[in-house]
Copies of this chain bind each other. A is one copy, B any other.
């Protein structure tokens, strides 16, 4: 959303070139809403969504914990003020020497989804707590979820048993229902699996204590999404149904849901043209594209809201593309985007809900273009 603070910043600073502006007040509001909707869950912010130091330190102050994907992210969370007990190493694919570095930094909570990873953690972080990620189908999610992370639920019991045998603390189960998950009921099936794993582990003498509900909490792009409360209620109902009165500790890992709508990407129209005089459709080229931060338009998966100074005037569909010499740098073509007919070269364009998965996705310097600049206000 284009808050007054973001609008004022852009008007006063007039930054040259494309840039992301993130309003910390919106992040704070999102944190409060998630905390309110799931009062019994610890929040582990997914650092990868946007690791800007100002965002991390704000969340650290608010009491958030942090889900990290690499040693560098562990270090960022610590630099932002989080103590190691508030940091999990949530990547299931870790080099053994990175586990050792994280362990040295005090990290005691690790994700695994295979026997091989358990063995690395046992060697490099003896006695640490591990949770096993299980596969889910990602139905209802807008960003593709592959089978990359997680094992079959039936295997998770053996993976946790292996951890236990090697002296680790078999701590719980995690899953991810898919990013930008618009169905609050999506957690139910995974929670049923988790409860079954809890029971099977108990039969083997291991008491699991935690369910990591993952991320997936959506941000509002063009379509309305359910409010945080709806997720809180649905998840609570499922926990009740599957765990009865022995509800475990739960944690959530919001990334997009925490920062997505806090950011606005300012871009500029570089060219508006047609491929032939008889073409029905215009091509609108911006100074930012797939390689400058808008990678999530891949397969036109995420459809960002776009505001222009000419909103309210007549619109027509256009193909929207980025500025690089790469033919794959097209944002929306299969389903063209409606923009004002009067839109012209030099116009400012504001792309909303770009607070997550933009700055870090940006290429180093593809075509010589600088990576996306970012301001947290």
Contacts and interface: CB of A to CB of B under 8 A. Distances in A.
B285 A93 contact: yes
B364 A283 contact: no
A30 interface: no
Interface stretch (A57-65, A204-212, A310-318, A327-335): A327-335
Contacts of A144: 327-328
Given A114-B271, A273-B117, A276-B155, A327 B148 contact: yes
B275 A116 contact: no
A52 to B, nearest CB: 11
B72 A365 contact: yes
Contact of A330 (B146, B268, B298, B368): B146
Interface in A110-133: 113-117, 120
Contacts of A135: 275
A91 B345 contact: no
A270 B73 contact: no
Nearest to A51: B368
A224 to B, nearest CB: 25
Interface string A245-275: 0000000000000000000000010111111
Interface in A75-97: 76, 90-96
Contacts of A51: 365, 368
Given A325-B69, A361-B366, A368-B72, A155 B93 contact: no
A365 B371 CA distance: 10
Given A69-B324, A362-B364, A368-B69, A271 B155 contact: no
A368 B53 CA distance: 13
Nearest to A17: B95
B146 A328 contact: yes
B48 A298 contact: no
Nearest to A148: B327
B364 A94 contact: no
A360 interface: yes
Interface in A301-315: none
Nearest to A275: B151
A70 interface: yes
Nearest to A120: B345
Interface in A19-78: 46-48, 51, 68-73, 76
A135 B273 CA distance: 14
A87 B274 CA distance: 27
A22 to B, nearest CB: 16
**What 8 A-B pairs have minimum CB-CB distances, sorted nearest first?**
A72-B368, A114-B273, A70-B368, A152-B276, A73-B368, A69-B367, A69-B325, A146-B327
